[in-house]
Amino acid sequence: MCLYFPSCLQPFNSIQWFVLWTSLFSFVQGFVVNGCINAVITSLETRFGFPSSRSGLIPSSNNFISLFVVLFISFYGARRNKPRIMAAGIFLVALGSLIFSLPHFISGLYNYRLSDVQDNVCHPESRNSTEQCTSAEGGERDSGHSSYLYIFLLANAIHGVGATPMFTLGTAFIDENTKAERTSWYLGIIYAAASLGVAAGYMGGSQFLNFYTDIGKVDLASIDITPQDPRWVGAWWIPFSASGILLMLLVLPMAAYPTRLPGSGSLMANRRSEAYQWKRDKVIENTGHSWRDFPRAIIALMKNPTFIFLSLGTCAEGNIVSGIGAFGPKFLQEKFNAPAAFAGLIMGMVTAPGAGGGMLLGGYLVKRFKLKCRGIIRLNLLVSCVAFLAGALFLIRCPPQATAGVNKHYDSLRDLDGPSHLESSCNADCGCSSKVYEPVCGTDGLIYFSPCHAGCDEKFMWMEGPIGPFKLYQNCTCVVDNLDRSLNATASAAGTNSSSTLLRDMLSTTPFPSVTTNVSSGDVNDTLLPPGAHQGICMSDCKLVYVVAPLLLVGMFLTFTTVSPTQTATLRCVPALEKSLAIGLQWVFLRLGGTMPGPLVLGRIMDSACRVWKQTCGERGACWIYTAGDMGVRIFVWWLVVKAFSIVCYFCAQHLYRAPPKNEHKEKEEKEEEKNWLEDETLRTTVC
């Protein structure tokens, strides 16, 4: 800090300690922004009624405002104290985290029931009634789709602005204060810390989802749903509040660093330029002294084809990373019937070795083989070609679960290929509502949208099963009708009329939980469930999620292997005084063409595979049921197109790169560069 230099703190005034503090910030920032937010997206959709196309705005908003300030921060900070600007950014990220948790405290209690007094069962007396749009429902809809969404967008936009200095000025600061061959290694450490934070965010954030969202506000004994229920919303807000407080502690250490670290001037004076040579007689010198230099510097970078194609390749990789990061857990939930907490845990286990290991490997390969700019780009090209093949994982899927009125007809086991139709003759007189998705599994093996849609006329009892307590409904006309048809067909084929034996055999083979404890009420056999339905979806024996997870790890590992080399190649292919601005401009490319549209595009792709939408007061909300097969094919095509684009970009970048002559050291540029550095060092010493 200025005017005070305690000797006991000088050992911390080194590039290694700077990398440590930056890595800690990178870890927490990744934990919050790219881990927790993505892990709780599905819960936010359920809690506030967002469709995926709108919830995709939340991770994308991280880039909105920062897109407009990144160039000015990069240009302004090129000749100023970069660590102090980064400290201000840390404070903003902390503030954004606290704001992100705000909707939980101002939105009231979560109501997952159709109403406070009515069970979602068949009531023939309501068959002639029409659903009314009450003011309460309208108010909840409006606030969910506007006020709360805007708070999330604002909070994550502040996250984006706060993180901008770390990924632009921080990158340039490290390159300016270490040997050229170590830059990629240090960047790999920082980005690996960020990826570990993302993994911790997925795993930690998903574990908080096992706690009910209004914990501490309601009597948990009154909550009659479990985390396996699609209506469940966990305590998504806790990690954001805790992270905001933790980040405040990192502001002071970062703000204490000087403009230059000791010995940085000699490092830069001895470094040989690898900048792309497009017109050596017009190399822009002394850029950054005045805002009038800003347009000239931008034009110079835009005339550098290697820089442009590296940035476009970064856009493609960012599109993949942001899209899969935002909706990867939801993909696992919908295609493999994984609970939200388990899907987040899987993504965390994939992200830690995939992203972290990939970035470390990329940085290590550049350092180990001392790759020059062209060699680094060729490494990216090779890795991207291999990653292209990993998209086949999205074609793997579990057999679709039979859902009445969605992919199966009510009156038979025939497939339903047309539009979904939840009403049938067996529930036409029940007055069922589709406002709330409350799935039940019938003893006929079909999933029904709600007990009412299964024709169940009363709530029967609580029973104990292998997954915990569950509701058992009886007198479900749709289930009984299906069982009667199946029994008659089976009895005719077997040439017997022993329907009781057939019923017992059928119930023993359905995905209906077996009873493990005696029931004190009702005439129920301890080992034979009556024809009815139980709360929740039918259990699936499909374990393909354990096959997809390693393949997803490989795809993410290969994608992230290009991150550190791309940053290093960008720093190598531009003049020294344009490095901060080059990283900033590349981040504009990355956000505008990569991380902003990535979640939006993938959210649209997932919504395009929706079969049943939530409808409230005539407005479409979140998707209740997806067609998993269509979703996988469309994501697969998206992966192939984006990866093919990145391959083309890296090929053009290495093909158009023009290295400086081996025997020309550009003495004038280096001397001018050294002079500017020494002037900055002298100025800092005088002021401080």
* CATH code assigned at 313: 1.20.1250.20
Q: Are 370 and 328 contained in the same domain? A: yes
Q: Is 5 within the bounds of a domain?
A: no
Q: Are 585 and 633 contained in the same domain? A: yes
Q: Is 12 within the bounds of a domain?
A: no
The label of the residue with tokens 């942001």 reads 322
Q: Are 221 and 368 contained in the same domain? A: yes
Q: Are 316 and 357 contained in the same domain? A: yes
- Which residues have C-beta within 8 Å of that of residue 71, sequence separation ≥ 6? 294, 298, 581, 584, 585, 588
Q: Is 10 within the bounds of a domain?
A: no
Q: Is 11 within the bounds of a domain?
A: no
For the chain (length 688 residues), average pLDDT per consecutive 10? 58 80 90 84 81 77 76 73 87 91 84 60 64 50 62 89 83 76 77 83 82 80 74 84 88 81 58 53 49 77 91 92 85 83 82 81 84 90 91 86 85 75 84 81 86 79 60 82 71 54 49 40 42 80 87 90 87 79 83 84 89 75 83 92 95 88 53 50 42
Alpha helices in 81-120 (DSSP H): 82-100, 102-106
Q: Which residue range is the domain that position 425 belongs to?
A: 400-539
Total tally of structural domains belonging to the chain: 2
Q: Is 178 within the bounds of a domain?
A: yes
Q: Is 9 within the bounds of a domain?
A: no
The label of the residue with tokens 């010493």 reads 685
Q: Are 355 and 391 contained in the same domain? A: yes
517-556 b/e (C-beta count within 10 Å ≥ 16 → b): eebeeeebeeeebbbbbbbbbbbeeeeebeebbebbbbbb
Q: Which helix (H) or strand (E) holds 235?
A: none
Q: Is 75 within the bounds of a domain?
A: yes
pLDDT in tens, 626-641: 888 889 899 999 999 9
Q: Are 182 and 94 contained in the same domain? A: yes
**Bridge-partner residues for 470, per DSSP?**
463
- Distance CA(500)–CA(58), nearest Å, equals 55
pLDDT in tens, 393-407: 888 888 888 888 888
**Is this prediction's pTM over 0.75?**
no
Q: Are 315 and 461 contained in the same domain? A: no
Q: Are 407 and 379 contained in the same domain? A: no
Helix (H, G, I), strand (E, B) or coil at 107: coil
Of 473, 507, 539, which residue is a domain's last?
539
Given this model, what pLDDT does residue 686 score? Answer: 36
Q: Are 584 and 474 contained in the same domain? A: no
Q: Are 312 and 229 contained in the same domain? A: yes
Q: Are 34 and 175 contained in the same domain? A: yes
Q: Are 39 and 81 contained in the same domain? A: yes
Of 485, 518, 539, which residue is a domain's last?
539
Half-sphere exposure at residue 163, Cβ-oriented, CA atoms within 13 angstroms: 30
Q: Is 47 within the bounds of a domain?
A: yes
Residue type, 222: S
Of 505, 520, 539, which residue is a domain's last?
539
